[in-house]
Amino acid sequence: MTKRSTPVRRYDTRTNMPEKQVKPKLTQTQMELEARDKRRLETFIDGVFAIAMTLLGPEFFVRLVQHSNQALIASLVGIVRKFIGYFLASTLLSLLLNNNWRQFQNIAYADSVLYGSNVLFLSFVVLAPFATTVWTGYPDTTAGVLFFDCVMFITGLTLYANWSYVKRRPYLLKKGITARTRRVIAYRNASLPIASALAIVLSFFSPRAATLHTCSSL
C-alpha cells in the first residue's frame, strides 16, 4: 500500500511555531480597479450625449401664421439661424463623442478620478446646445461669441485632461498601446481647446472673424 504524503509544515526559527499562511493583501489601487468597470462609465457617457443631442430638437417649433405659402416661407426663413446652430451643435457633439470613444477604446479600467473628470466633461457637453443657441442668436456680439468659445474651450480642455491623466497611469490602459496611438489621441483632443482659445482672442477684436474661425475649425 502506498503511504500518503503528509504536508510539510514550516516553522518560524525564532518562535519555533508553525508559520501562518498569509494571503497577499490587495493594494488600494487594485481594489479600486476591481470594484469599478469602465463599461458603466461608457454607458453613462453615451446616455448623456444622447440627451444632449435630443435637447437640440426643442429649439424648433412652427409659429402660427396665415395659411399661405408666403407666410410659411417667411416663418421658415426666420429660423435659418436656428437650423445653422442645430447642424453646428450636432457636428460638435459628434466630434466630442468620437474623440471620447477613441480614448475608451484604449482604456482598460476606470478609477474614481477618471469617473469624476468625465462627469465634469459631460457637464459642459450638456451646455453645448444652449451655448450654440446663444452663439447663433448673437453672432455679431462679443459676449455671445465669447460665451460659446469659453464653453468649448473648457469642454475640450477637460477631454484633453482625461487622456493626460490616463496616459500617466499605464495600469489603466490596455496592453500593447503604442506611443504613436497615445500621441494621436492627445493631438486630436488638443485641437478643440487650441481652436477655441484662438477664437476667444479674436472675439475681442472681431466677433465675425471669431465666428468664421470657429466654423472652419469644425
Residue-wise pLDDT tens digits, 131-168? 888 888 888 888 988 999 999 999 999 999 999 999 88
**Rounded mean pLDDT, 27-42:** 65
The H or E element spanning position 81 is: helix 80-104
pLDDT tens-digit readout, 35-87: 467 888 898 999 999 988 888 776 666 666 667 777 767 777 777 777 877 88
Burial class (CB in 10 A: 0-12, 13-18, 19+), 3: exposed
* Distance separating alpha carbons of residues 198 and 203, to the nearest angstrom: 9
Q: What is the mean pLDDT of residues 108-120?
A: 89
What grid cell was written down for 196?
477655441
pLDDT of 155? 93
Residues contacting 99, CB < 8 A, separation 6+: 159, 185, 188, 189, 192
- pTM assigned to the model: 0.75
CB–CB of 45/100 below 8 Å? yes
For 181-207, how does the pLDDT look when each residue is reduced to its tens digit (9 = 90+)? Answer: 899 999 999 988 998 899 898 888 887
- Report the distance separating Cα 53 and Cα 91, nearest Å: 10
Q: Is 88 helix (H, G, I), strand (E, B) or coil?
A: helix
Residue 65 to residues 69, 74, 82, 199, 215: CA-CA distances in angstroms?
10, 9, 18, 39, 33
